[in-house]
Amino acid sequence: MSLSLDIRKAYPGFSLDIQLEAGEERVALLGASGCGKSCTLRCIAGVETPDEGRIVVNGVTFFDAERGINLTPQQRKTALLFQNYQLFPNLTVAQNVCAGMDGKLSAEKRADLARRYLAIFGMAAYADRYPSRLSGGQQQRVALARMIAARPGIYMFDEPFSALDSYLKSALEQNMLDLFDVVGATVLYVSHDIDEACRLCDRIVVMHDGRVEEEGTPSELMRSPKTLATLRLTGCKNTSRARKVGPTRVEALDWGMVFDVGAPVPDDVAYLGVRASYFHRDNRREPGQNTYDLTVSRVSDSRFERLVLLDPPRVDAPSRLQWRVNLVGADPAELPQTGDVLRMHFDARRIHLVCR
């Protein structure tokens, strides 16, 4: 199973220019809204037509502008799951699953397969119901069963969990992994949630302004991002414009802070980033290297963490630094409060430097 993609398409105020190769693996397209993720899937499915380029899936040319090839969506046999699942409201659950099957199969064979596919997702007991009598999570499971039944050459998902609550989303992610265990095919998964992409996919392709910024495994992108877009999309809350001020020293221009990163700083460094859980309090009497006294401007609690906003030294800083404190087992008397002045140490090994 494979995908070879090299396409360009102009939209009003936006251009898609993407090259992507994928094998029998799960690939996340990660990016902010409007970066071209969904457009890419729609071009592969044949819902939209690129202006230039080529799309080949499992050795079959779906689209080739130079050769004048442009298969219809029906000829491409792809599976694209949208946020609303697009079940046929006038068909039962079983009939919806059968609708994606090869028409050459007998009615008895299709019905048997539908029951088997529905059973994978715990939906066999609902075979005779109509979609309107199902919850959102149940509808999604039916849509997943229908995807398997269609035996597509490539599976594509366009943010299918975006409208679900966290409890249901967690359960349905496991259904999705059940699907991935059953099929041996290329999977493209569109998301703007880095945690979701890490849980479901083997490789992440970061998109920005219609192009691929960088790609790698989840651990590679978290450990060593190469661009500002990737820094932010992988959850780095603290980013600043940067410039080199010494062989191993870099200035965070937006914060008025200088760090020694303990390694050569690229001459063309443009930004730096520090994740919200990658620095800590320093209780030494005298400040050391990469240590600053910062004032707490605000705190806010979630279930398990306290988000602490810290004022950087630069008076007119465009943003505050975010620091996350674990609340589990913490002594309430030791937790930072608004107005506290904290001595904070930034670990040189955990300061990300990027050049674009």
What's the average model confidence in pLDDT over 204-218? 95
What's the average model confidence in pLDDT over 299-326? 96
Residue ranges covered by each domain of the chain: 3-225, 236-354
Domain pair 3-225 / 236-354, same fold: no
- Look at residue 165 and tell me whether its pLDDT is greater than 80: no
Looking at the chain, how many residues does it have?
356
Regarding predicted confidence, which is higher, 86 or 317?
317
Q: Which of 26, 79, 34 is nearest to 204 (CA)?
A: 26
**Structurally, what CATH architecture does the domain formed by 236-354 represent?**
Beta Barrel (2.40)
- How much is the pLDDT for 60? 95
49-60 confidence digits (pLDDT tens): 999 999 999 999
Report the percent of the chain where pLDDT is more than 90: 71
What's the average model confidence in pLDDT over 62-78? 94
Tokens 């080739």 sit on residue: 64
Q: What is the mean pLDDT of the chain?
A: 92
Q: How confident is the model at residue 163 (pLDDT cuts 50, 70, 90)?
A: low
What contacts 9, CB < 8 A, 6 or more positions away? 15, 16, 39, 43, 48, 49, 50, 51, 52
What's the average model confidence in pLDDT over 235-242? 96
Regarding predicted confidence, which is higher, 184 or 282?
282
What contacts 80, CB < 8 A, 6 or more positions away? 41, 42, 45, 47, 156, 157, 158
The CATH number that domain 3-225 falls under is 3.40.50.300
Total-model pTM: 0.86
What's the average model confidence in pLDDT over 207-236? 94
Q: What is the Cα–Cα distance from 202 to 268, expressed in whole angstroms?
A: 31
What's the average model confidence in pLDDT over 292-297? 96
* DSSP state, residue 114: H
